[in-house]
Amino acid sequence: MRIALALIAIGLATTPAAAQVGNIDLSALDRAVDRGTLLYHYDQAAWHGTDVLKLQARDKLASVGGWIIDGPPQHPEIVFFDHDEADPHAVFIADLKDDVVASTHLATVGDTLSPARKRMIAARRAAGKAMAAANISPCTNAPFNTIVVPPDSARDPITVYFLSAQTDWQTIPFGGHYAVEVDRNGVASTPRPFTKSCLNRAPEPGKGPAEAMVVTHLLDPVPTEIHVFSMYAARKPIYVQTGANLWLVDAPKGRALIRLVKRDPDKPNG
């Protein structure tokens, strides 16, 4: 960590990562950027959609069993569904554009959920049971924020993320985030942690451009979608040290980028 801070202090220029760093395949960086961006905008949709639900349909709150979100990051749709596990129904729907609620719809008896959305709801429930069975708790004093990522096809598994909620404007929870994959038969995997422990961090003034945040990541050879999500949430660049490599996660033009800043040839990759 001290080495990383020293590198930032002298203002290292970042350079785009090559297609391969040592034995690390950097195709994972594109996935981290795309998935982390999706997680951030879906999380915003859940936040703003819930606020609008409370304003426009407060009398329906007791009938809401949860929510799912689908659609592209800049134009997602959030569906609040009921408690019917066997055959869930929509209660309230909100469409967002650029993280702002653009329209809402109060579901009626005739409204039905597509099979794809029912599968997402079932996956959310199965993943929740896997988290409970593993006795996993969030790293902040708030319930997990849950995001179900739509699969690319009916054959692909559904990934359900459980994110420790940010409970104040200054502190970012880098730890306490998990992913559970649910296959097409509804079987949930063991929860995958993104850190080994809780890691709630605040920006460190004077440690880099725009008061960049600095973390060490031990479980993957490159930054993950959680680092991209956290960069958007913090609205600050994040330096991530992974073994021999120091990376910068930033969004200089509004689009997330992960760049290799420094490699120490004397350390192992990963």
Task: Kindly give the confidence (pLDDT) of every residue in the chain, 270 residues in length, as a single tens digit, with 9 standing for 90 and above.
Answer: 333 433 433 334 444 444 556 667 778 999 999 999 999 999 999 999 999 999 999 999 999 999 999 999 999 999 999 999 999 999 999 999 999 999 999 998 767 899 999 999 999 999 999 999 999 999 999 999 999 999 999 999 999 999 999 988 778 999 999 999 999 999 999 999 999 999 888 765 555 445 789 999 999 999 999 999 999 999 999 999 998 899 999 998 889 999 999 887 666 555
Q: Measuring CA to CA, which residue among 95, 84, 88, 83 is closest to residue 117?
A: 88
Residue type, position 159, single letter: T
Distance in angstroms (rounded) separating the CA atoms of residues 172 and 166: 6
Distance in angstroms (rounded) separating the CA atoms of residues 81 and 85: 10
**Across the strands, what pairs with 20?**
25
Structure-block tokens of residue 249: 């996660």
Q: Measuring CA to CA, which residue among 24, 26, 20 is closest to residue 269?
A: 24
Cα dihedral 111→113→115→118 (10° resolution) = -150
Which pTM was predicted?
Answer: 0.87
Pairing of strands 200-201, 172-173: antiparallel
